[in-house]
Amino acid sequence: MQPKKKIQATEKQGFHPRNKHGARYDFKSLIATCPALATFVKVNEYGDESIDFFDPEAVKMLNKALLKHYYDIENWDIPKNYLCPPIPGRAEYIHQVADLLLGDNAGFQKDKHFPGERISCLDIGVGANCVYPIIGIKEYGWHFVGADIDIAALESAQKIIEANPFLTDKLDLQLQPNKRNIFQDIILEDEQFDLTICNPPFHSSLQEAQAGTVRKLKNLTQKKVSKPVLNFGGQSNELWCEGGEEKFITDMIWQSKKFAQSCLWFTTLVSKESNLRSIYRLLNKLEAVEVRTINMELGNKKSRIVAWTFLPPAQQKKWKKERWGV
């Protein structure tokens, strides 16, 4: 079922041209930046340098190296068993929504006049890792608010900010006190965001998350797997919630209507293509003015970003002129 409102599907294969992670990992350069990575790098059966992506410590060290090498992040760390996200996919989301916001101006040079410093983004579920804001700040100069329901995750994110002073004036963290709310108590009265981003919980239960991990590992290794190993980690609120991805996103859409005048573009990652039907139906019901679907295919993984706005074109133009000066 396709929505009745304006839908603009953008089929994009592979990595965004501004994504620094489109090529194979350059382990020599990464080790030069982060020598501790060397312990985890081995030559695989194909004669290529790689790490064991089923080893959580190896994945975490690779992230440390990538964030230091490409984004000047020092002393990045996360608590044990918290989500350690793949950096290339996170960067892809940021670059794709930069195009959504800014169109032809998205590939700006920092020494030229551009409204990057004036753009404010809300990260729903910033997590302990802080990766979306790190990339958005370093690549585009945006300001971020990172919201989460997990106090320990926010404490971890705060340590990352303190270890990297250039984040201090660009990123504020907020605790969402009510697990049922998404924007309420985070978007304050008269506050405006140009963009919201979200990587919602994928599964509906711990059992479903574990079963999905077993299937993934079995497909990758072609071997029998009985015990799930979450190589990218993840707490309960990061990986699953009641009703899974579909309910979380539809709740977000319902709640976004109340903040229709507070945000230019609401966006979310949608991992399950089957969830698009209910997402489109609800956006039609709530009379979203414009809906866009940005398809992403990174390696063997397919996903998409769904973006919506309640502002008509004239109001969008006024928004950009008043907030960005363009």
- For the record, the structure tokens of 133 come out as 């804001």
- The pLDDT of residue 152 is 94
Series of mean pLDDT values for 10-residue runs along the chain (326 residues):
50 78 94 97 89 92 98 94 92 96 69 75 96 96 96 96 96 96 96 97 55 47 48 47 85 98 98 96 98 91 95 96 88
- The pLDDT of residue 122 is 98
The number of beta carbons lying within 10 Å of the beta carbon of residue 278 is 15
C-alpha span between 43 and 40 (Å, rounded): 10
CATH architecture of the domain covering 6-324:
3-Layer(aba) Sandwich (3.40)
Instruction: Give Cβ neighbours of residue 210 (< 8 Å, ≥ 6 apart).
Output: 228
Return the SS3 of 312. Answer: coil
- The pLDDT of residue 322 is 93
- The pLDDT of residue 21 is 95
* pTM for the full predicted model: 0.87
Residue spans per domain, the chain:
6-324
C-alpha span between 148 and 177 (Å, rounded): 9
Amino acid at 264: L
- The pLDDT of residue 113 is 54
- Please choose, from the candidates 68, 66, 135, 129, the residue with its C-alpha nearest in 3D space to the C-alpha of residue 95: 135
